[in-house]
Structure 1
Amino acid sequence: MNQSLISVLPTSFPQEPGLDPKPILELPLVELAQKLQAEELSLESVLCSYLEEALKVHQEVNCLTDFLGECEEQLQALKKRKKSERGLLYGVPMSLKDPYDCMDHDSTCGLAQFLEKPAAKDGVLVKVLKAQGAIPFVKTNIPQTLLSFECSNPIYGQTRNPFNLKKTPGGSSGGEGALLSKGGSILGMGTDTGGSIRIPSGFCGVYGLRTSRDRLSYTGISSAVKGKKSVATVAGPMARDVDSLALCLRALLSEEMHRLDPTVPFMPFREEIYSSTRPLRIGYYESDGFSQPSPSMARAVRLTCRLLQDAGHEVIPFSIPRIEYAIEQLYTGGLFADGGATLLEKLEGDIVDPCMKALVTELRLPDLLKCILARILKYIVSPRTAQSLEMIRGVKTPKKLWEQHTAVQEYQQEFIDRWRSLDLDVLLAPDLDPAFYIGYPAKASESSSYNSLYNVLDFPVGVVPVTTVTLQDEEELAFYKGYYGDSNDRNFKEAVEGSVGLPVAVQCIALPWEEELCLRFMKEVETLTKNQRKPK
C-alpha cells in the first residue's frame, strides 16, 4: 500500500454512530442522487461510506494515488446551498483519474518530472462537477506516461485486477476501473487515447464512454505528450451502469462548461435521443481483420446480436476498411509523429517502468537501425511488427505531418461513407478482453486495434459488459493461432488464458457528436444482456 497516501488520509472524519454503509453502497447512482436531493441520506454518511470502501479496495489492489482532503470543506459548503443550486450530482462522491487537475494536488501521469508540482487550480471538468454538487474525494492510478494498457508506474506501483490479482485492470484508466469494479466509487472520470477508458472497463466489468473530441473540455487535464492532432485524446465518464454515464454527461454538458472553456460548444444533453424506443439499424463485426479476437470476444458479439435481433432491431454485417493501414499508418503514425521525442524527454532521468521498457527501448534506437530492423523483421518475424517499428520513426517534416493529418481525414470519410451506404444508426464491435496477465500488454499491444481504431476515427464509443468467460471459451482458446502467427498473437493467447468467470464486454459505437445515441444503444444492450453477465 502506498504510504504517502496513508499519511494524508483523514483520521477523524465525522461519522454517524451505527452507520451501516452496505445499503448506501448498493444504491445505483441515479437512486443515490435522488435520495441525497431529498435529504433521505446525509452527505456525511454517503461520503464516509465510499471513503471507507475505497480504502478497503486500495488495500487489495493498490488503485489510489491521492486523497482529496478538501472534500470535507466542500461537503460543508454544499450544505449551505439553496435547493435550486444543488446541481444534478449533489453530494455524490467521485473518483478522478490522476491527470485531472485538482488545486494543490499533483497530476503526475506516473512521471517523476510532474511530482511536487501541484495544480494551481481545478481543471474545467472538475470545476463543472463541483458546481453540479459532486464531491471528488480520491485520485486513481495510471501507467507511466499513460501510453500503456497496463497500470503501473515507479511512483505508485502496480494496480491489480480485482477479479484476479495476477491480471491487470487495464490502462490507462486502470485505477478507475478497479475502484469502480469493487464498489469503492460510484462514478469516475477517465481519459482515452487508444482505449484507455474502454479497455479497463472491459477488463474490470464496468461501463465507460469515450466521447467525441471537444464534446467535453480537456483543459486542466495533464498529459505526457501534448500536441497530437490526428489521434484524439478525450475525457469520459466511467460508472457501474449506463444511466450513471448519462447522468454524468447531463451534468457536464452545461452552460458552465462552455463558459469556462469557450472552445467547447454549448450542446446540452439531448434527452429525446437517449429516451427514444424506435428500432435501430445496427452494423456489427466479430473481428476487425487485424487481430483475431479471443473466443469470448467473438461470442459476446454473437450473443448481443441475437438478443438485439430478437428485440426487433436490424443487425447488418460490417467490415472495417483498410484496417492494417488505419492501425499502423494512421494510429501508430499519428501517436508517434514526433518519433517519440516528447515522450523520451518526459522520461529523462526517470526510472522506466517495466510496462514501458519495450516501447522506450524501440524509441531510443537510431532511425537507421529502426529502418534496418524493420526490413529484417518483415521477413523473419512479422510484417505487422516491422510496420509498427517503421512508423515510430516519425513523420520528419511539416509537409509529411500535414499529409498524415489529411490521410486521417480521408480515412474517416471513407469509414463514414461505408457506414452511410448501409444506412446504419450504430455499430456493435468486440471490446478487448478478457483481462491480460500483468506484463503482457506490452507484449501483445497490437491487439488493442479493436479500441485504438476509434481514436483515429474520433467516434463516441461506450463499453457494456455482457457476459463472462466460459469453460468452452477457454477450451476453444487452445486452438487460437492469430492472423499473423507472430509473437503478438502467441502472447495474446497466453495473456488471456485462465480467465473463466472474468467479464467480457462489447463496444457500442455512434458517429461523431452522437453521444446520446451511443448511450441509448448501450442502454438497450445493457437491458437485453442483464441476465447473461453472471458466471455460469
Structure 2
Amino acid sequence: MEDSRLPVVVCTTLVGVLTVYEVQAKRKEIISLTLPQLSQQLKDGQLSAVQVLQAYQQKAMAVHDDINCVTEPIPDALFRAKELDSAGQRSGLLYGVPVSIKDNIDIKGMANTLGLVKYLENYAEEDSVIVRVLRKQGAVPFVKTNVPQAMMDISCSNPLFGTTLNPHDPTRSPGGSSSGEGALIGGGGSILGIGNDIAGSIRIPAHFCGICGFKPTANRLSKQGYLNCSPGQQGVIGTCGPMARDVDSLVLVMKALLVPDMFQLDPLVPPIPFRHEIYESKKPLKIGYILDWELKLATPAITRAVEITKEALEKAGHELVLFQPPKSDHAFYNIIPRCLGADGGKTIRNRMSGEIANPRLKAQLPYLTMSYFWRKVVGFLLRPISPRISRALSHRLLRTIYDLWQRLVVREDYVREFLDAWEEADIDVLLCPATPIPAFKVEGASALSGM
C-alpha cells in the first residue's frame, strides 16, 4: 500500500511544480513586453487584465524589496482588473495596463503625504482628473511611489518611507522628485507611471534611471487633484507627465490622455488632441543642440552622451545646428530663484513645521527660508566662492503685489527672448543634457547644495 501511494504523491508534486513554473514563465514573458505589445495582447484576448496585473504586482514588490520605491499598493487594483475581464468589452487605449502613480497624485481614499508625517492621513476624496482619464481608458492604477520629503530635492529620502535607491546601482540616487516612479520603471516593476515636474522632477529621475520621461507644456494635462509642493507659485509652472521605458510608450499615453474626457473633466485644459500628423511625419528635422550651457556645469560624460546622440541623428538624416540659449546664466541664477522663492520660504516653512527634516533638506532649509538681511550677508560671504549662488541668494524679498508683478514681467521678457532665439535659429527640436551630472552617490547628495 505504501509503495502504491508514493508515485501518486510524487506525480502530484511534479504537476504542482510544473504549474508554478509555467505561471512564473508567463509572468516573465509579460514583463518583457513593450507597452504597445502588451496593450495589443490585452485587446486581442491573449492576456487577461488579472494576469498582467499580478505579473507586475509580483515584479514591483521584488524591485521594491531591493530599492524601496513603493509607498502603498492601490487597494482596488485586483477588483478593477477582474471587472475589466468580466466586462467582455476590451475598449480604451490602455485597456488592462497597470499604472504606477506618484505619491502626491490623488487616488480616492489614499493619502498624499509628500513624505511628511502631518499628511499621513491626508486622504483624497476623489481621483485626480488624470487618474480618472486613465481609468476611462482602461488602465489599472496599482501602486503609489515614493518622493523626497516635501518634494524639495533631486535625491529621495523621507522619514515616512525611507530612502529610494537607483535600480541599476543601489549606491546611487534615482533622482527626484518623481523618484519612486523612475526607480520602479527602471527596475522593471512598472511599465507606465505618472509623475509631475516643475524644475526637472520627471526629467532627472528618467535620466538617472535610464528610462523615458515627458514633461508636457504647462496646462497641457490637468493639474486638478495633485498636492503641489508650492501651491500658488506661478513663476515656474509645473505639470503632470508620463514616464515609461521608451518613447513609443509615452506617445501611446499622451494619445490616451489628450481626449475629450480630459477636456470635459477639466475645462482649464485646452481642448487640443494629440497631433498625429506631427508625430508621424517623416520630414527630416532641424535640431538645435547644446553640449553645455554657458554655465559650464555639464560633466564630460553628459556632453559625450549629447555628442553620440547628435551623430546618430545626423546619420538618420536630420540637420543638427549648435544652439546657445540666450542669457542662461541670468535665467538660472536670477529669474528662477526669484520666482520659486517669491514667498520668502513661507510655504516650505509651513510644510516643515513640526516635521523631522531629512538631513539633506535640513541643510538646505536655512537657505530656503532665511530673511533678506541674512540672504545679503550669506550672499556676500559666498561671492568669492560661488558668485552664482551668491546672486541666487541675494534677491530682495517681495513687499508688495507690484514687486511680484515686476518679477513676473522679467520672466515673461526672458520667455519672449528665448522664443525669438528659437525662431531665428529655425529649429524644430532642442537636444540638450537632461541635467549636468549622471546619477550621484547617495552619500554624496549633501555636496550638491547648489543643484
Q: Which moved more, 1:424-433 or 1:338-347?
A: 424-433
- Secondary structure of residue in 1 paired with 2:149: coil
Instruction: Indicate whether 1:382 and 2:386 are aligned.
Output: yes
One-letter code aligned to 2:179: G
Matches within 5 A, 1:359-438: 359-379=364-384, 381-391=385-395, 394-432=397-435, 433-438=437-442
Does the 8 Å CA contact 1:211/1:235 hold for their aligned counterparts?
yes
Matches within 5 A, 1:265-414: 265-379=270-384, 381-391=385-395, 394-414=397-417
Q: How many residues align?
A: 429
- Secondary structure of residue in 1 paired with 2:87: coil
* Deviation, structure 1 residue 162: 1.5
Give the Cα separation in 1 of the matches to 2:449 and 2:321: 29
Instruction: Indicate whether 1:227 and 2:235 are aligned.
Output: no
Instruction: Indicate whether 1:113 and 2:118 are aligned.
Output: yes
Matching residue within 23, 44, 47 for 1:41: 47
* Deviation, structure 1 residue 62: 0.3
TM normalised by structure 1 equals 0.78
Does the 8 Å CA contact 1:287/1:298 hold for their aligned counterparts?
yes
Matches within 5 A, 1:12-27: 18-19=22-23, 20=25, 21-27=27-33
One-letter code aligned to 2:386: S
Deviations 1:136-183 (A, max 9, x none): 000000001112111111110000111221110000011111100111
Give the Cα separation in 1 of the matches to 2:317 and 2:102: 39
Deviations 1:80-109 (A, max 9, x none): 43536x211000011001011000000111
Instruction: Indicate whether 1:150 and 2:155 are aligned.
Output: yes
Higher RCO (CA < 8 A, seq sep 6+):
1
One-letter code aligned to 1:196: S
* Deviation, structure 1 residue 366: 3.2
Aligned to 1:210: 215
One-letter code aligned to 1:414: E
Give the Cα separation in 2 of the matches to 1:108 and 1:389: 29
Matching residue within 170, 174, 185 for 2:175: 170
- Secondary structure of residue in 1 paired with 2:151: coil
Matching residue within 253, 257, 274 for 2:258: 253
Greater helix content? 2
Give the Cα separation in 2 of the matches to 1:129 and 1:442: 37
- Alpha carbons of 1:27 and 1:429: their partners in 2 closer, same or farther (altered >3 Å)? same
Give the Cα separation in 1 of the matches to 2:295 and 2:347: 28
Matches within 5 A, 1:523-534: none
* Deviation, structure 1 residue 309: 1.5
Does the 8 Å CA contact 1:208/1:239 hold for their aligned counterparts?
yes
Instruction: Indicate whether 1:237 and 2:246 are aligned.
Output: no
Give the Cα separation in 2 of the matches to 1:94 and 1:48: 12
Deviations 1:475-510 (A, max 9, x none): xxxxxxxxxxxxxxxxxxxxxxxxxxxxxxxxxxxx
C-alpha root-mean-square deviation of aligned residues, in Å? Answer: 1.4
* Deviation, structure 1 residue 117: 1.8
- Alpha carbons of 1:438 and 1:130: their partners in 2 closer, same or farther (altered >3 Å)? same
Give the Cα separation in 1 of the matches to 2:335 and 2:131: 32
Deviations 1:396-436 (A, max 9, x none): 32111101111111101101101111111111101223101
Matching residue within 34, 38, 46 for 1:32: 38
Give the Cα separation in 1 of the matches to 2:132 and 2:324: 41
- Secondary structure of residue in 2 paired with 1:245: helix
Sequence identity, in percent?
A: 41
Structure 2 gaps of 5+ residues are 1-18
Give the Cα separation in 2 of the matches to 1:98 and 1:260: 22
